[in-house]
Structure 1
Amino acid sequence: MRDILLFVIVVGLVPVILMRPWIGILAWFWSGLMTPHFLTWGFMRTFPIAIVFGGATLAGLMMTKDRRGMPFTREMMMMWMLVAYTAMTSYFAVYPSAWSFWQHLMKILLITFITPILVHGQRRIIALLLVITFSIAFYGFKGGLFAISTGGAHMVLGAKGSYLSGNTYIGIAMIMVLPLVLVSARLFHYQWEDFGSELVRRFSTKIGLILYGVFWLTAIAILATYSRGALLGLLAIAPFLFIRMKRKGLMIALAFLGITVLGVTVPDRLMARWGTIETYEEDTSAMQRVQAWGVSWNMALERPIRGMGFRFTYMDYDWWITYANFEGTWEHVLSPHSIYFSLLGQHGFGGLVVFMTLVGFTFLTLNRIRRHAVRETGQIWLSEYAWAMQMGLIGYLVAGTFLDVAYFSLFYAFVALAIIMRRELEEAPRANETIQADKHSVNEPAQKPESATGPRFPDFVPKPDDLLNQPRPWFKNQ
């Protein structure tokens, strides 16, 4: 039954995407993050949903006029640099089939490149944010209920067979969207956006309350993954989330009541798992990571610019162990289990610099949006979501120390959203200009604000009329 329902949804979305290709972006991220086909048991498990959605989106892009020019931003430049750099390291890779993984990365980056072309305007941006948030929050809601019902006796995992099936993978994904769930709850509770639906307006407050519940269930699910990396990522963002919350006194009182009166405690299995962080020398899994990190570091020292290329872990053990600082009782090639050491081994120090520069530019852009959106344009939702994505990036960088997720599509969705949201900030009417315009009489047309004379945000191909009306260069402020 699930297979038939999902098949009907996929087939039904194709003509919609051809007519409105921006919906294909939403569908692609939904299928890639939530992986609904791995929640089925029949023919849809192997159905190429991402290819169908991606192909329909590209076809619709070719036919539609509802698109923008590709933004020429520092994040976009670094992504093109990443494309070129990984192509170079794939050419010099030690494993012959490195190109196959490079092609996989290009599929992710292709959608990242065209997302700012098709997604523009407040409602489309919020729709994309909600789709990304709910795709992962679904597992937080489900995992939180499972953890409570079982008393934390079992590990929370992602959909079996999917990219997020492992506990650490689903853990880092939930950490990245946890702040987004909180902001989405506020979006509905305070009705920052009018979705044009009377039904949504009527139940908006109730939807917000439900999402607050999903937020806490997701936090519980993260703990119940038993992932040490997820724990550290949650601890990194928890203080920022607490500061941002309201009713702090009530939360502290409830926590105190639960511990002292109700006797709520952390499950022994969970405490034992976390305790291995301090005694990592006695834990085989931790020592395997230390060994693999040393291998990647030594590879980067030998080939600091070219690296070993994608899939160097597919090489035989005798070659791989020559780069190790010590040899354990396990005799097999190990994954680097880290964003940073994975990049070092695959692309050398040069590749790590390119990737971290992309991360840094994205974080700074989100910080600018967070600081200026409310003051300049009055867009509370824009500032709040920028903050949430910043927190998600912090969690990603901390938890990613113990997991090789440098090519996680959710991270590149954040990059695309940072570009889009920056454009929204630059092109939105200034708050003071809107007030001035409201003071004009009906018979006297208001003066056109400067921000409406053309896109201040840099596009590769600005409209001719925009250039004629612009008093200053169109690439100003970059």
Structure 2
Amino acid sequence: MRQTPVVEARESVVMRGAIVALLLFMWMPIVIFKPFIGILLWDWISHMNPHKQTYGFAMFFPFLDFVAALTIGGLLISKDKKSLPAHPIVAIILIYFIWVTFTTIVGFEPGYSFEKYTYVFKVLLFAFVAMMVMQSPNRLRAFVFVMAASLAYIGVKGGLFTILTGGSGRVQGAGGMMDDNNQLAMAMAMLLPLSMYFVQHPPLKILKWPFAGATFAIMLSIVGTQSRGGFVALAAVMGMLLLQSKHKFKLIAVLVPLVIGGLYFMPDSWKNRMQSTENATEDSSFRGRVVMWRFSSNVADDNPIEGGGYNVFYVRRAQELYMPPGEIPRAPHSAYFEVLAEHGYTGLLLYLSMLLTGWYAGGSAAKKFRKHEETKWIGDLCAAIQLGLVGYAVGGLTVNIATFDLFYHYLAVIVMCSNVGDEILARQTFRVADDGKKIIAAGPKKWSPHGSGSKAARQKTSPT
């Protein structure tokens, strides 16, 4: 007897869960001996949430916690270098984490704060462990590729859904950090420059055109979320890309037809939602955001140093004290007001410092490494990450993404790029020719994840 389509679909999803579980369990024993494999698994689970797209036990099994524990255990017994790179981004993240730990302890209701604090702890733990482990060119490439491919999978699905529904269906959240359509749009806006990077530097030549197609699908998925904040973030990324590009006219020639075609393709419901930004003061959604921004300011004005702690927006006592009369509490809908209410003006200053440090470090590294042929790919990667941070900064104006995984992971990638790029340049040895003028490259040293080599090797290859 033939099964119904519903039963067949359910069995298919159950089978998918079994396959995902098998893949993860198969790699777990290796993680103890190869911590970088654990980082890549951690990377995949964090950004794609493959188990959440299944049914049955796999959907709820804490794969990420198991992988994290095994990775850290493997790192402890490994002989690899275990210190964090000396970088301003590392310092500012550590200071910020210390501060949010303090605000969690002294907040209005530590019980309300603890769940979000635990989430942030896990996000930063992954960033720090990744910085410690992924300190070679191949590991850096693998880390970024897994991140991009995991998110691109979601972007391609969203783009295809937008095409199939003619833009009338809304692309919803994918779980994890992309819990709703607004957060998914932010992730895709941040991913877009990275996808373009892989068109320029594909791991394999055969992947160049698939990434080009994925880039187009990612843009469609942002539009398909019907997120006004996502649309603004997309515009900011594309505008900054246009300003930085050396081929402005070519880029305009490609973008203008896409924009015109996209506007013609999208239904009236989408156009009306985007045009509602012109009448923001009459929009109930926008008005609700302004109410929560006022709530955040009221909390910070009374608690300027420490704020109210994580999730202060849902603490009844805080609502009674600081919510404008007659208004309904909701999410803050702004990363900046989110931090302001939860961690005070001190926390907001540290958060902005972290964002600006990442943006400046990414730009500086891009400029530095693009000068050398050996590290040009790292310079281009840093430029893509910096552009992604622009999307994050603009999107954060209207979406509460202060604890967004991808932001902190992008900061980690900048640190990895700086560390690996400096190591590659340090491997280049030079000597002065007999005429005292011409400098001749003596060739690169063998790569070592522990540094530039032994003392004897450094003395042997030192400039003459």
**Mapping of residues 12-411 of structure 1, within 5 Å:** 12-97=26-111, 98-159=113-174, 161-188=175-202, 204-242=204-242, 244=245, 248-249=249-250, 252=253, 255-256=256-257, 264-316=264-316, 319-325=318-324, 327-328=326-327, 331=328, 333-376=329-372, 378-411=374-407
1:89·1:308 contact (CA, 8 Å) conserved in 2?
Answer: yes
CA–CA separation in structure 1 for the residues paired with 2:264 and 2:429: 54
Secondary structure of the residue aligned to 1:237 is helix
Cα shift readout 1:246-302 (whole Å, capped 9, x = no counterpart): 695487379549959x99443211111111112112211111110000100111111
The residue that corresponds to 2:7 in the other structure is none
CA–CA separation in structure 1 for the residues paired with 2:304 and 2:135: 40
Cα shift readout 1:314-364 (whole Å, capped 9, x = no counterpart): 212x74154245644xx3x21211110000000000001111111111111
CA–CA separation in structure 2 for the residues paired with 1:257 and 1:335: 34
CA–CA separation in structure 2 for the residues paired with 1:432 and 1:467: 13
* 1:246/1:52 CA distance change after superposition, 3 Å: farther
Q: State the AA in 1 paired with 2:182.
A: T
CA–CA separation in structure 1 for the residues paired with 2:263 and 2:311: 49
The residue that corresponds to 1:11 in the other structure is 25
* 1:253/1:465 CA distance change after superposition, 3 Å: closer
Q: State the AA in 1 paired with 2:400.
A: D
Q: State the AA in 2 paired with 1:343.
A: V
* 1:62/1:166 CA distance change after superposition, 3 Å: same
**Matched residues, number:** 436
1:185·1:208 contact (CA, 8 Å) conserved in 2?
Answer: yes
1:291·1:326 contact (CA, 8 Å) conserved in 2?
Answer: no
1:426·1:455 contact (CA, 8 Å) conserved in 2?
Answer: no
TM-score (ref. length: structure 1): 0.84
1:366·1:386 contact (CA, 8 Å) conserved in 2?
Answer: yes
What is the root-mean-square deviation of aligned Cα atoms in Å? 3.1
1:18·1:59 contact (CA, 8 Å) conserved in 2?
Answer: yes
Q: State the AA in 2 paired with 1:238.
A: M
CA–CA separation in structure 1 for the residues paired with 2:432 and 2:276: 61
Q: State the AA in 2 paired with 1:50.
A: L
Gaps of 5+ in 2: 1-14, 434-439, 460-464
Moved over 6 A (4+): 434-437, 466-469
Cα shift readout 1:406-456 (whole Å, capped 9, x = no counterpart): 11111111111111111112221369857989xxxxxx994998x99x959
CA–CA separation in structure 2 for the residues paired with 1:75 and 1:436: 36
TM-score (ref. length: structure 2): 0.86
Gaps of 5+ in 1: 194-203, 438-443, 457-462, 470-478
CA–CA separation in structure 1 for the residues paired with 2:456 and 2:284: 62
* 1:310/1:247 CA distance change after superposition, 3 Å: closer
1:313·1:320 contact (CA, 8 Å) conserved in 2?
Answer: yes
The residue that corresponds to 2:6 in the other structure is none
Cα shift readout 1:21-57 (whole Å, capped 9, x = no counterpart): 0121121121111111110021111010110110110
Q: State the AA in 1 paired with 2:253.
A: I
The residue that corresponds to 1:429 in the other structure is 425
* 1:141/1:15 CA distance change after superposition, 3 Å: same
